[in-house]
């Protein structure tokens, strides 16, 4: 069956065919490393990870490029405001470079905790200044730029196709404008190169044909994507918020520089909402992977939660839904663990599973197949082999899970032994009292024909 993906550019579900047979190039917009990533940001990376895993599951070899934006990202897209890196630096009393490194490490650790496969290529914006300058030069040579007192701008009015990705209505935008256009000729124009302020030495600035300064945000992605994947590659993805501005601008730059729309497919992950509003870094308070860990959740419970919804619909986050994901994952894990060693994969269930996942990465329905398979009367060794195969896509790391072996305190073991004796003597009141004590101390009892086992609750 052919993989179908929803392409935002065409606004429809399209059969996926790679440009080069057998190989797929993906560029995924990475984080701006001025702060930690929140779990809403991370939902997009989980979606991209599923995309990558599905492609590899189908036998493609995937080149997966993710950028690290470590400079030049302004706090306002009116192309005014501060550089987030410089702001973060002042706030923390560290150099912008140190901040970038610290939050890059934190980001990679988050990905790792969510069992997200590491990209085949990481690229940092500050390592690619010459490439960006070269592209700006090309755009200038073709007459699509103009200069203002603070930078070199892309003149969107000269590009008829501008904003097609987002189906932008330029007049409508102008009517509803809430921001000053400033020196920009039109609302949608954006900075390619920003001059360093006269009165302030920036930590991150470079020489260029236009003067000392730094690249605009959008140029880094198109420059690096082209460097690593070519002028037209297979899939570009990111959060849905990038559709109207960032990705529209990347396409505009690429159309002028290379005469391409940069990627064949544009995929967008939808938001995680909390308390009926989206989570956002700039608003201050937000949930991190570490927050979940502090509350004793396994980060993979969050990954499971992400899989229960389709990537193209907003997901409401509540602690209750995380609990539900956490319990479900726990049950799947212990079932998997209890099954006999993997033998043969069941072809029918695996087929049904792939059909779901190939329908625009529908992990929600794929999970329904997982549960049906897990509860089926197939031999447990077959179930194990089949689920193992499915987990190549799900990434729940079931094969490596095992119950936490921990030492039970002596006093608890004594209570368990006393209860065993009491039960032997059919002294039920005493046995129940002892059980209450054990449970009260945070342990669980499992009475089976073979005897009683104890473990920590949770």
Please enumerate in sequence order all residues whose Cβ is within 8 A of that of 239, keeping only pairs 6 or more positions apart, or say none: 29, 41, 44, 268, 269, 270, 271
C-alpha neighbours within 13 Å on the C-beta side of residue 110: 28
**Closest C-alpha to 103, from 52, 6, 38:** 38
User: Which CB sits closer to RNA, 23 or 87?
Assistant: 87
Number of chain positions touching RNA (CB under 7 A): 84
The pattern of x and - marking residues 334 through 353 that bind RNA according to CB under 7 A reads: -x------------------
Distance in Å, CB of 40 to RNA, minimum: 3
Give min distance, CB of 402 to RNA, in A.
16
| Binding segment (CB under 7 A) for RNA, from list 16-24, 50-58, 132-140, 430-438 | 430-438
Q: Closest CB to RNA among 18 and 65?
A: 65
**φ, ψ for residue 64 (rounded to 5)?**
-120, 110
Stretch that binds RNA, among 101-109, 149-157, 382-390, 429-437 (CB under 7 A): 429-437
The least CB distance from residue 308 to RNA, in Å, is 5
Which C-beta is closer to RNA: that of 137 or that of 244?
244
Residue from 227, 244, 298, 350 in contact with RNA (CB under 7 A) = 244
User: Minimum CB separation from RNA for residue 271, in Å?
Assistant: 4
CA distances for 123 relative to 41, 294, 411, angstroms: 19, 31, 55
Q: How far is the CB of 209 from RNA (least distance, A)?
A: 25
Q: Which is nearer to RNA, 4 or 23 (CB)?
A: 4
Interface with RNA includes 436 (CB under 7 A)? no
365 touches RNA by CB under 7 A: yes
Q: How many helices (H) and strands (E) does the chain have?
A: 15, 16
22-81 residues near RNA, rule: CB under 7 A: 29, 31-32, 38, 40-41, 43-44, 73-79, 81
- CB-wise, 228 or 443, nearer to RNA? 443
How far from 456 is each of 332, 408, 409, CA to CA, in Å?
Answer: 19, 8, 10
Supply the minimum distance, in Å, between the C-beta of residue 327 and RNA: 4
| Residue 221 and residue 131 in contact, taking contact as beta carbons nearer than 8 Å | no
Please name every residue paired with 219 in a beta bridge, in sequence order, or none if there are none: none
For tokens 């009367």, name the residue.
377
**Shortest reach from residue 214's CB to RNA, in Å:** 14
Q: Name residues contacting RNA, limited to 209-238 (CB under 7 A).
A: 217, 238
* Count of other CB atoms within 10 angstroms of residue 184: 22
Counting Cα atoms < 13 Å in the Cβ hemisphere of 352 gives 16
Instruction: Give yes or no for residue 270 binding RNA (CB under 7 A).
Output: yes
Which of 282, 400, 407, 424 binds RNA (CB under 7 A)? It is 282
**CA angle 117-121-124, nearest 5°?**
115
The answer to whether 308 contacts RNA (rule: CB under 7 A) is: yes
β-pairing, 12-15 vs 4-7, is: antiparallel
Does position 125 bind RNA by CB under 7 A? Answer: no
What part of residues 315-334 is at the interface with RNA (CB under 7 A)?
Answer: 315-316, 318, 320-321, 323-325, 327-328, 331
- Does the protein bind RNA through residue 396 (CB under 7 A)? no
Work out the burial of residue 37: count CB atoms within 10 Å of its CB; fewer than 13 is exposed, 13-18 middle, 19 or more buried. Answer: buried
Provide the strand spans (E) within 256-408.
Answer: 263-269, 272-274, 277-278, 315-317
In angstroms, the CA 199 to CA 280 distance is 32
Q: Is 423 in the site for RNA (CB under 7 A)?
A: yes
Segment 140 to 199, residues that bind RNA, using CB under 7 A? 169, 172-173, 175-179, 187
């Amino acid at each position: 069956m052919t993989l179908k993906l929803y392409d935002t550019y065409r606004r429809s579900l399209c059969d996926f065919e790679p440009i080069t047979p057998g190989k797929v190039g993906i560029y995924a917009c990475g984080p701006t490393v001025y702060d930690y990533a929140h779990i809403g940001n991370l939902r997009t990376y989980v979606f991209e990870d599923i995309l990558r895993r599905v492609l590899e599951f189908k036998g493609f070899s995937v080149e997966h490029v993710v950028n690290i934006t470590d400079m030049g990202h302004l706090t306002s897209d009116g192309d005014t405001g501060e550089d987030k890196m410089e702001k973060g630096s002042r706030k923390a009393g560290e150099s912008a470079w140190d901040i970038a490194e610290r939050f890059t490490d934190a980001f990679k650790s988050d990905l790792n905790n969510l069992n997200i496969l590491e990209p085949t290529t990481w690229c940092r914006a500050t390592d690619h200044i010459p490439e960006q300058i070269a592209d700006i030069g090309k755009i200038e040579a073709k007459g699509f730029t103009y200069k203002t007192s603070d930078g070199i701008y892309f003149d969107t009015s000269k590009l008829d196709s501008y904003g097609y990705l987002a189906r932008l209505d330029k007049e409508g935008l102008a009517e509803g404008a809430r921001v000053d256009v400033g020196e920009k000729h039109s609302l949608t124009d954006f900075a390619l190169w920003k001059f360093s302020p006269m009165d302030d030495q920036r930590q991150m600035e470079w020489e260029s044909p236009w003067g000392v300064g730094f690249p605009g945000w959008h140029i880094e992605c198109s420059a690096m994507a082209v460097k690593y994947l070519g002028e037209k590659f297979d899939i570009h993805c990111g959060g849905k918020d990038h559709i109207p501005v960032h990705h529209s601008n990347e396409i505009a730059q690429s159309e002028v520089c290379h005469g391409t729309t940069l990627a064949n497919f544009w995929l967008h992950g939808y938001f995680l909402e909390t308390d009926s509003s989206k989570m956002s870094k700039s608003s201050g308070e937000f949930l991190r992977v570490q927050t979940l860990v502090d509350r004793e959740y396994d980060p993979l419970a969050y990954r499971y939660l992400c899989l229960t919804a389709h990537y193209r619909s907003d997901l409401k986050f509540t602690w209750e839904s995380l609990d539900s994901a956490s319990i479900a994952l726990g049950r799947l894990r212990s079932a998997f663990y209890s099954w006999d060693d993997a033998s043969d994969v069941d072809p029918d269930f695996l087929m049904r599973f792939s059909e779901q996942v190939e329908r625009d990465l529908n992990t929600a329905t794929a999970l329904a197949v997982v549960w049906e398979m897990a509860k089926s009367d197939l031999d447990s060794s077959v179930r194990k082999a089949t689920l193992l195969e499915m987990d190549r896509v799900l990434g729940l790391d079931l094969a490596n899970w095992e119950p936490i072996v921990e030492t039970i305190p002596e006093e608890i073991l004594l209570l368990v032994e006393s209860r065993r004796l009491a039960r032997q003597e059919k002294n039920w009141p005493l046995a129940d009292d002892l059980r209450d004590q054990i449970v009260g101390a945070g342990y669980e009892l499992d009475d089976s024909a073979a005897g009683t086992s104890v473990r920590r609750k949770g």
